Amino acid sequence: MENKKIVVALGGNALGSNLVEQMISVSDAVKPIADLIEEGYEVVVTHGNGPQVGVIQDAMTLLSRENPEKHPHFPLSVCTAMSQGYIGYDITNKLREELLDRGLAGNVACVLTQVEVDPQDPAFRHPTKPIGPFLTKEEADKKAMEKRHVFIEDSGRGYRRVVASPEPISIIEIDTIRALADAGYVVIGAGGGGIPVFKTENHHLQGAPAVIDKDRASELLAEQLDADFLIILTAVENAAINYGKPDEQKLGEISVEEAKKYIAEGQFAPGSMLPKVEAAVKFAESKPGRTALITLLEKAKDGINGKTGTRIHA
């Protein structure tokens, strides 16, 4: 099992909704990751930022309204960069500490990562990506009126703002991430799906008003790093069909063809489980021998060993 390369995608909701919660959550999150490293896997970590980027933009918007001349508008791309920095800072330090405590090399590096998107992507006309905290319907309706934001009900947990979520095209810092990984570093990269950018004239990268789905960006990163496994960590141990119904069925080991059938049937919630399964399918069919896993954070090692989780393979 040595020298197998894994991209591990942490969900933003698993990191808490504020700085104190995040520091506690990250301390727990790094332990299963360290387990994989201790077993000899080469690991690259990505993470979501849905709750965090929404909170950051709300705070920056309030600052701008109080003094627009001193604090101009903070675009979503800048808020994503901020979230990458402070989430990556916590993961880097806590994972380094955990590895050193186990007598392992504490070589961990966070790479601020930009991801190219297409300015003509239809996602810019149809926002679907939930960000920010969960709200009641009354709170969401009030904010929708005040800020002209779009809100949706999110998996029975409340209402959240949705923004554009274009497809990732290329990872700008891929060579840097690859070089560090090949040199033995555990890399934290493509945080929050990456900072979305448009390529413009004279090699300029312009920030895009969007938040890229972290699972799709993680899949692209895993492909470009020639990883063996993509692990998408979420709030449930297995993906399921007929979710929440009396005949709910947890999915264990399934083929790409089975997963595509369930996608066509509408079995997975858009903005929630659907992008995870789609990313898993894309990775599993991208090259023979690749496997994608969807499971709980604390079940990652068991999932890799075939004991639990939803494993998708060609």
In terms of pLDDT, which residue wins out, 233 or 68? 233
In three-state form (DSSP H/G/I as H, E/B as E, the rest C), the secondary structure along 195-248 is EEEEECHHHCEEECCCCCCHHHHHHHHHHHCCCCEEEEEECCCCCEECCCCCCC
Helix boundaries (H) for the chain: 19-38, 50-66, 76-101, 137-147, 174-182, 214-224, 256-264, 273-284, 300-304
Of 11, 13, 16, 88, catalytic: 13
Active site residue 276: yes
Task: State whether 44 and 103 are in the same domain.
Answer: yes
The predicted model gives 306-311 an average pLDDT of 94
pTM: 0.88
User: What pLDDT score was predicted for residue 128?
Assistant: 82
Domain membership of residue 123 (yes or no) is no
106 classed as catalytic: no
Strands of 159-163's sheet in order across: 129-135, 159-163, 150-153
Q: Is residue 29 part of a domain?
A: yes
Is-contact 39 263, C-beta < 8 A?
no
Whether residue 89 lies inside any domain: the answer is yes
Q: Could you confirm whether 305 is annotated as catalytic?
A: no
State whether 93 and 144 are in the same domain: no
* Of 48, 54, 191, 214, catalytic: 214
Q: Pick the residue with more confidence: 156 or 263? A: 263
124 located within any domain: no
* 236 and 307 co-located in one domain: yes
Question: Looking at the domain assignment, is residue 122 inside a domain?
Answer: no
What percentage of residues in the chain have a pLDDT greater than 90? 63
Q: What is the per-residue pLDDT for 1?
A: 44
Same domain? 146 vs 106: no
Is residue 160 very low, low, confident or very high in pLDDT (cuts 50, 70, 90)?
Answer: confident
Shared-domain flag, residues 22 and 80: yes
User: Which tokens is 160 given?
Assistant: 């959240």
Question: Choosing from 11, 12, 189, 192, which is the catalytic residue?
Answer: 12
pLDDT in tens, 266-297: 999 887 899 999 999 999 999 999 999 999 98
**Looking at the structure, do residues 174 and 49 belong to the same domain, yes or no?**
yes
Please check whether residues 172 and 153 belong to one and the same domain: no
Sign, CA torsion 112/17/198/227: positive
* Domain CATH number, residue 285: 3.40.1160.10
Q: Are residues 193 and 309 in the same domain?
A: yes
Report if residue 98 sits inside a domain.
yes
Do 213 and 187 fall within a single domain? yes
173: domain range? 5-116+167-313
Angle between helices 76-101 and 50-66 (to 10 degrees): 130
Round to whole Å and give the CA distance between 76 and 74.
7
Question: Tell me, what's the pLDDT at 36?
Answer: 94
Give yes or no: residues 102 and 28 share one domain: yes
pLDDT band, residue 217 (cuts 50/70/90): very high
43 with 103, same domain: the answer is yes
| Res. 16: pLDDT tops 80 | no
Catalytic residue chosen out of the listed positions 48, 50, 88, 129:
129
Mean pLDDT of 71-87: 88
Across the range 47-62, mean pLDDT stands at 84
Write down the catalytic residue from 276, 282, 299, 301: 276
Q: What is the pLDDT of residues 91-145, one digit of tens each?
A: 999 999 999 999 999 999 999 999 999 999 999 998 888 877 788 898 888 888 8
199 is catalytic: no
Is pLDDT of 2 > 60? Answer: no
Regarding whether 187 and 59 lie in a shared domain, the answer is yes
Query: Is 121 inside a domain boundary?
Result: no
**pLDDT score recorded for residue 140:** 87
**Local confidence band at 57 (pLDDT 50, 70, 90 cut-offs):** confident
Q: How many domains are there within the chain?
A: 2
Concerning whether 147 is annotated as a catalytic residue, the answer is no
